[in-house]
Amino acid sequence: MDKSETGRKGESFCEEYYRKRGYEIKERNYHSRYGEIDLIAEKDKTVVFVEVKTRDEKALSRPAEAVNKSKQKKLILTSFQYMENLPFDINCRFDVFEVWQKEGRIYRFNCIEAAFEAEDFSGRYDIF
C-alpha cells in the first residue's frame, strides 16, 4: 500500500469516527495557500480542525510527532481562512488523530482533542 493510499484510509477511518460521535463533516482535504486540513467537522457550535497522521506499525515514532510547530502554524493559518465567513460566536479546536496500520489494516487509533491552540503562536501572523 503506497503512502497516499495509507493516508486516505486513515482519513476515512477518522471521518467515520467523528460521524459516529455526532459531528457533521464540513470539509475533507480543505486547501488554502498555507496548506491543507485533512478534516473539518462541526458539533455544538464548535468547528474541529483535524490533522490525521497514519503510520505503519513499524514506525519509530508516534504519528502525532509529525505535527510539529511548523505544521501547526500552517494548520492555524488555513483554519483562519476557513473561518473568515463563519459567525463570530463559533468556537474552534485543533485535534490530531493518530492511526496505526499493520499489513494494511487499522489496528489502533488515538484522538488527541485540543492537541494545540492558535494562541500557542502569540498572535503573530503575517497572513493578509
State the CATH number of the domain containing residue 91: 3.40.1350.10
Is 126 inside a domain boundary?
Answer: no
Q: What is the pLDDT of residues 54-74, one digit of tens each?
A: 998 888 899 999 999 999 999
**pLDDT tens digit sequence for 18-58:** 999 999 999 999 999 999 999 999 999 999 999 999 998 88
Please calculate the CA angle 97-98-102 and round it to the nearest 5 degrees: 145
Task: State pTM to two decimals.
Answer: 0.90
The grid coordinates of residue 6 equal 495509507
Q: 81-101 burial string, b = 16+ CB within 10 Å, else e?
A: bbeeeeeeeeebbbbbbbbbb
In this predicted structure, what is the pLDDT of residue 57? 85
Query: Which domain range does residue 32 map to?
Result: 3-117
In a domain, 124, yes or no: no
The structural domain count of the chain equals 1
Name the residue with higher pLDDT: 90 or 125: 90
The answer to whether residue 113 is domain-embedded is yes
The amino acid at residue 87 is: P
